[in-house]
Amino acid sequence: MRQLLIVCLYARANERRYKTADFNQQTTQSMSPCPFPRRRHYKEPCYRVAAVGFGLLCILLLAAVTVLATNNTQLQISYNIPNDNFQTNYSNLVKLIDQLQKENAALQKKLADLAKHAQLGWVYFSSSLYFISTEKKSWTDSRQDCSRKGADLVIISSREEQEFIIKQLDGDKAWIGLSDRSTERVWKWVDGTALTTAYWAKGEPNDAGNEEDCAEIWSSADRKGWNDVTCSRKERWICEKLDFQW
Ligand code: MAN
Ligand code: CA
């Protein structure tokens, strides 16, 4: 009896396998070595219902995906949203960060440069740096000192610059980068340009003793402006570094 039961179990299992492979049910029944009648509530219909359900679900999902994809495309078209919006924003951000880092580095360098100049006594005004000496030298030696400092004697090109220098000198006088040594009465700046707007003090230039070819600036309350004086005289001097841009 126990052996027969095992035979039957195998036989039923085989029948199910044949069925899956789409064999004829009658054939498998007649071939079966099992003498017991087959149970009526065979599970076949459950699989079929599940398969049909799964199929329907797939069709539904496919329809939903198609509808959503169509809507998305229409949204992109109507709002003109580029497909690669995220990628574009990201690469723009990377470029911006790179540019800001470069600007920051350049600004740090400028700041360090300005701090170094300030420590040595330079003063910033309207894109230029100014150095007013405490020592006194001839006009030529003064110019040489400016040159050693990477500058030249000051060129005064506006009323504001003139007032700024007068304020810095605080009553004293100093050489400026102006002379008529090449041609008498033809005043030229150290960069070779001709004098256009002048701020001579009253009665100057007078070429006193026919030997005054270099210009100095006076800043005292009663005598303000430029004066021509002998180039060999020892005076304080003013250097200027042009175009110190931020
Ligand atoms: C006076 C004026 C000037 C002149 C100086 C020279 O101040 O005559 O014009 O340059 O003396 O010391
Ligand atoms: Ca003079």
Q: Where are the alpha helices (DSSP H) in the chain?
A: 2-20, 25-31, 44-79, 85-119, 139-148, 159-169
Given phi > 0 = left and psi -120 to 50 = alpha, else beta, which region is 41? beta
13 lines ligand 1 (CB under 6 A): no
Atom of ligand 1 nearest to the CA of 206: 9
CB atoms within 10 A of CB 176: 26
Give per-residue burial for 62-81: e unless 16+ CB within 10 Å, then b: eeeeeeeeeeeeeeeeeeee
Q: Give the model's pLDDT for residue 10.
A: 53
Give the three-state DSSP class for 59. Answer: helix
Q: How many angstroms separate the CA atoms of 6 and 105, rounded?
A: 87
Q: Is the CB of 229 under 6 A from ligand 1?
A: yes
Closest atom, ligand 1, to C-alpha of 212:
10
**Does the CB atom of residue 230 touch ligand 1 within 6 A?**
no
Can you give the residue ranges of every domain in the chain?
2-30+42-75, 117-241
- Ligand 2 centre from 194 Cα, in Å? 19
Predicted confidence (pLDDT) per residue in 5-57, tens digit: 554 555 555 554 444 444 444 444 444 555 655 554 445 567 788 888 888 88
What tokens does 177 get? 């980068």
Mean pLDDT, residues 142-152: 98
**Is the confidence at residue 130, as pLDDT, over 50?**
yes
> Which atom in ligand 1 lies closest to the alpha carbon of residue 203?
9
Residue with the bigger pLDDT between 209 and 62: it is: 209
What is the mean predicted confidence (pLDDT) over 203-229? 98
Q: Are 216 and 114 in contact (CB under 8 A)?
A: no
Instruction: Look over the chain and give the mean of its residue pLDDT values, rounded to a whole number.
Output: 85
Residue 83 confidence (pLDDT) above 70: no
> Of the residues 175, 224, 229, 235, which should be mutated to test ligand 1's pocket, given the most ligand atoms within 8 Å of the CB?
229
pLDDT at 198 over 90: yes
183-194 pLDDT tens trace: 999 999 999 999
Which of 236, 216, 230 is CA-nearest to residue 136? 236
Q: Is CATH 3.30.413.10 the classification given to domain 117-241?
A: no
Which pLDDT does position 23 carry in this prediction? 40
**What is the pTM (predicted TM-score) of this model?**
0.67
